[in-house]
Structure 1
Amino acid sequence: MSTELLGLAGFGVLFALMAIGTPVAIALLIVGFAGTFLLSGFQAAAYTLSGQAFATVTVYELSIIPLFILMGNLASAAGLSRDLFDAAYRLIGHLRGGLAAATILGCAGFAALSGSSIASAVTMGKVAYPQMRRYRYGERLATGSIAAGGTLGILIPPSTGFVIYAVLTEESIGRLFMAGVLPGLLLTSLFLVAIALVTLLTPEEGPRGPVFNLREKLTSMFRATGILTIIIITIGGIYTGFFTPVEAAGVGACFALIMLIARGKCTLRTLWGASAETLRTTGMAFFILIGANVFAPFVALSHLPETIAGAMTGLALGAYGTLAIILFGYVVLGMFIEGLSLLVITLPIVFPLVVSLGFDPIWLGVIMVIVLEMGLISPPIGVNVFVVKSIVPDVKIETIFAGIMPFWLAMAIALIILVIVPEIALILPNAMYN
């Protein structure tokens, strides 16, 4: 069997293992070790397994993952996510679809703390859905806005997706964080436009909420300054060069702890819960990264990336034609495979191919994260959809999938805009680092 066929067989085994319920990290370790053993012998496979495990957990830049996750958990425990939603709710809740728009804005703000799409969807869903149900919002718009808003968690920095992409491709975490800011604002704006169009065509989906007086609005805005301060300190510190991304994560976590103490919610139980959740999420992320770093050498040894690159070049589709096929493939695969898992599985092949076509690797990171976001809400296995389903068990799953379609189309439009105008993603990192 040729090395290329062995590489294809490895991917087949990988997907088969995942299909029968094997955790992604374990599947990557099994296939990576076995493939390297067959191609280079036991000694090379054993060295890869032990060496990559140690190398991964000792990467200084990866300490950003537990710090930002801890920051998000502490901020959630302090009630900062509810404050942000309440501020948006009192400002625009009286408009048609205002509660859904407040949910999107709340998700965008909380995304700048958690870096996780699932955490954003769960946190804002528990806060926003009861209010939308109270004011008789349509189930499609209510659940669709929560599921779609949660996806902003892996685009708006700090983003776990960007950190993993940076580690696997050896790109700058700081540049990727800055590259995600304007696309994140663009996508948030397109989500708000989608809500406006839905409520224009079907007003009963988003009836008007109550009108609050100026004092109530100012009070809610003042309470939201906690979360805004953390965002300004972390993201502003990175942009100005005052903090490295890792230092910003540490400062943000410390400030979130101060807010927890200041609000009188710092109990042993709260700290234990936030710490335990941080450890669980961090452990999962590191385990997947170790598996990816064991799997990647096998892919390189199989020469599969070069073979696929040669085949794609031979089709004479041009750079953008090839990119379109790759992105379409990601959208389809994202319907069945969780986003971050798909990222670590495919990057060893896709990254060198796309960069060889002349595309900027930082811009590519933003594009890939948006495509992964689309997978998070795409049927039949949109992870965020099932997360929302767990929050609102009385709503049918097909209703939630119907509700996310306007937002899915908004993502597709954002993707097209960023392909046509890549400077949207590159202007901030280029200004900061050049």
Structure 2
Amino acid sequence: MSEMEIGALLLVATIVVLCSGVSIAFGLAAVAIAFLAIFGGPDALSAIPETFMSELSSFALLTVPMFVVLGAAIGLSRAGTDLYESLHRWLYRLPGGLVIANIFACGLFSALCGSSPATAAAIGKVGIPEMLRRGVPRALAAGSIAAGGTLGILIPPSITFIIYGLVTETSIARLFLAGVVPGILLVLIFSAYAWLASWRAARGVPLAEHFSLKQKMEGIGRVLPFLGIIVAVTVFMYGGIATPSEVAGVAALMALMMVMIVYRTRLPQLWLILVSSTRETSMILMIIAAAALFSFMMSYLYITQTLAEWMVGLDLGKWGLILVINLFLLVVGCFLPPVAIILMSMPVLAPVLATGDVDLIWFGVILTINLEIGLITPPVGMNLFVIRGVAPSIPATDVLWGSLPFVALMAGFIVLMCIFPGIATGLPDLLLGVGR
């Protein structure tokens, strides 16, 4: 069989295995081992243990468990509730202010935990009931939280950016900076839509309530320690004081100390944070190792090189190539989680993008926003299921229809970034110098 025929067979086998309900890590590993056994021979099989373990020995992977601990500590505490309440006290008089407060809370919470499902769950558990009680349309309430939660993989610290940086060998610090401005702009765009939707619906009018300046400042006081973590991460990483791995460790320690001091977290809850972090880290690392084995198999059988040569041979030009890749990512993003997509696709796409003179830092942001769309697009949009879990009274159709306007906004923002790439590259170039 030719390499293209093997590649087509591999695609079908991978889709069948992943759709069977098998976990992504074990599914990828099983497909890789089977194809190496059939088409590679004994020599290829002998490289499996070394490939699997060497991928996990990277020092840079220390950032993953540390940022996971950071996210778990914030996500399993009352930080999300306090963040939402604090913003609501300042924005309650604004038309659609309650929805905007939730979107801003999602943005700030994303900067603390770096996880989209965790952001949607933490803010949604508090924000959605409050919005419904004040007459906000169900679709808008659910859609704003589902879309706001996606910012967890864009606004740093982001596990997605860490994995992307490791796979493409690009600077994680530069990727983090590249996600800041797009993340802020998406928060503002989402908020503008929420204001317009609330104004046009003439609903969601706040209850007759009033918060004094003292009450507003009390809310900020409980949130400030956690915002201090964001400042510390920024200063340590971009001030050249520490590496991303060291910054992740400091941030995780600070988060644990904060939840213990501010919320008086006791040992059982602290144990729950550590257990949750261990489970999520194990899942991510297993996917990373299995995807490395999958990538090794594709390279060993010359599938990766053949696909890259085929895509270059299409002669689509830079923007034609970007369009095709984005359409591909939109489709697979509806079925697979972001980490798996990056690990499976970037070993093939990175050489093609390099040939097309595409800035990998800029493309990392484009890819992440694309994956955000997948998180709120059926049939496997993770955040859609999270919203259904925290707000079972809202029908699935309302959750879906409420998310679609935000899907359109993110798709439009991708086009905007193609026209103005400096939205992503401007800040890292300014602070770290021009580079890739």
Fold-level similarity (TM above 0.5): yes
**Residue segments in structure 2 that go unaligned for 5+ positions in a row:** none
Deviation string 1:173-229 (CA, Å, 9 cap, x unpaired) is 11111111111111111111121221132122x323534222211221222101210
The residue that corresponds to 1:17 in the other structure is 17
Deviation string 1:210-250 (CA, Å, 9 cap, x unpaired) is 34222211221222101210111112321222222111111
d(CA) in 2 for partners of 1:423 and 1:304? 34
d(CA) in 2 for partners of 1:289 and 1:81? 29
Q: Is the 8 A contact 1:88 1:106 kept in 2?
A: yes
Q: Report deviation, 1:314.
A: 4.0
Q: Is the 8 A contact 2:78 2:263 kept in 1?
A: no
TM-score (norm 1): 0.95
* SS of equivalent residue, structure 2 residue 330: helix
d(CA) in 2 for partners of 1:13 and 1:111? 36
* Residue type of the alignment partner of 2:205: P
d(CA) in 1 for partners of 2:403 and 2:221? 32
d(CA) in 2 for partners of 1:35 and 1:271? 43
The residue that corresponds to 2:267 in the other structure is 268
d(CA) in 2 for partners of 1:349 and 1:405? 30
Q: Report deviation, 1:87.
A: 1.4
* Residue type of the alignment partner of 1:18: L
Rate the CA distance shift 1:201–1:264 in 2: closer, same or farther, 3 A.
closer
Q: Report deviation, 1:136.
A: 1.9
Q: Is the 8 A contact 1:36 1:297 kept in 2?
A: no
1:207 and 2:238 are equivalent in the alignment = no
The residue that corresponds to 1:347 in the other structure is 346
Q: Report deviation, 1:342.
A: 2.2
* Residue type of the alignment partner of 1:397: A
d(CA) in 1 for partners of 2:139 and 2:263? 37
The residue that corresponds to 2:85 in the other structure is 86
* Residue type of the alignment partner of 1:5: E
Matches within 5 A, 1:377-416: 377-416=376-415
The residue that corresponds to 1:2 in the other structure is 2
1:375 and 2:374 are equivalent in the alignment = yes
d(CA) in 2 for partners of 1:248 and 1:132? 36
The residue that corresponds to 2:327 in the other structure is 328
Q: Report deviation, 1:143.
A: 0.6
d(CA) in 2 for partners of 1:349 and 1:56? 17
Matches within 5 A, 1:180-259: 180-204=179-203, 206-209=204-207, 210-259=209-258
Deviation string 1:114-148 (CA, Å, 9 cap, x unpaired) is 11111111111112112112212111111111111
The residue that corresponds to 1:432 in the other structure is 431
* Residue type of the alignment partner of 2:391: V
* Residue type of the alignment partner of 1:142: A
d(CA) in 2 for partners of 1:179 and 1:264? 33
d(CA) in 2 for partners of 1:264 and 1:377? 32
d(CA) in 2 for partners of 1:289 and 1:46? 20
* SS of equivalent residue, structure 1 residue 224: helix
d(CA) in 2 for partners of 1:264 and 1:330? 41
Q: Report deviation, 1:293.
A: 0.3
Q: Report deviation, 1:319.
A: 0.9
Q: Is the 8 A contact 1:68 1:113 kept in 2?
A: no
The residue that corresponds to 1:27 in the other structure is 27
d(CA) in 2 for partners of 1:212 and 1:321? 53
Rate the CA distance shift 1:78–1:398 in 2: closer, same or farther, 3 A.
closer
Matches within 5 A, 1:306-321: 306-321=305-320
* Residue type of the alignment partner of 2:70: M
Q: Report deviation, 1:285.
A: 0.3
d(CA) in 2 for partners of 1:54 and 1:381? 30
* SS of equivalent residue, structure 2 residue 196: helix
Q: Report deviation, 1:341.
A: 2.0
d(CA) in 1 for partners of 2:327 and 2:408? 14
Q: Aligned-residue CA RMSD in angstroms?
A: 1.7
Deviation string 1:228-287 (CA, Å, 9 cap, x unpaired) is 101111123212222221111111111112212222522111111100100011001001
The count of residues paired between Structure 1 and Structure 2 equals 432
d(CA) in 2 for partners of 1:79 and 1:406? 30
* SS of equivalent residue, structure 2 residue 73: helix
d(CA) in 1 for partners of 2:213 and 2:73? 30
* Residue type of the alignment partner of 1:250: G
* SS of equivalent residue, structure 1 residue 366: helix
* Residue type of the alignment partner of 1:71: L
d(CA) in 1 for partners of 2:314 and 2:40? 32
Rate the CA distance shift 1:407–1:267 in 2: closer, same or farther, 3 A.
same
Q: Which moved more, 1:383-392 or 1:131-140?
A: 131-140
Q: Is the 8 A contact 2:136 2:198 kept in 1?
A: no
Q: Is the 8 A contact 2:153 2:159 kept in 1?
A: yes
Q: Report deviation, 1:386.
A: 1.0
Q: Percent identity?
A: 34
The residue that corresponds to 1:167 in the other structure is 166
Q: Which moved more, 1:3-12 or 1:275-284?
A: 3-12
The residue that corresponds to 1:128 in the other structure is 127
Matches within 5 A, 1:357-368: 357-368=356-367
The residue that corresponds to 1:420 in the other structure is 419
Q: Which moved more, 1:264-273 or 1:278-287?
A: 264-273
TM-score (norm 2): 0.95
Q: Report deviation, 1:309.
A: 3.6
Rate the CA distance shift 1:77–1:317 in 2: closer, same or farther, 3 A.
closer
* Residue type of the alignment partner of 2:380: I
* Residue type of the alignment partner of 2:12: G
Q: Which moved more, 1:340-349 or 1:275-284?
A: 340-349
* SS of equivalent residue, structure 2 residue 156: coil
1:356 and 2:355 are equivalent in the alignment = yes
Matches within 5 A, 1:29-108: 29-47=29-47, 49-108=48-107
d(CA) in 2 for partners of 1:11 and 1:131? 45
The residue that corresponds to 2:281 in the other structure is 282
* Residue type of the alignment partner of 2:61: L
* Residue type of the alignment partner of 2:143: G
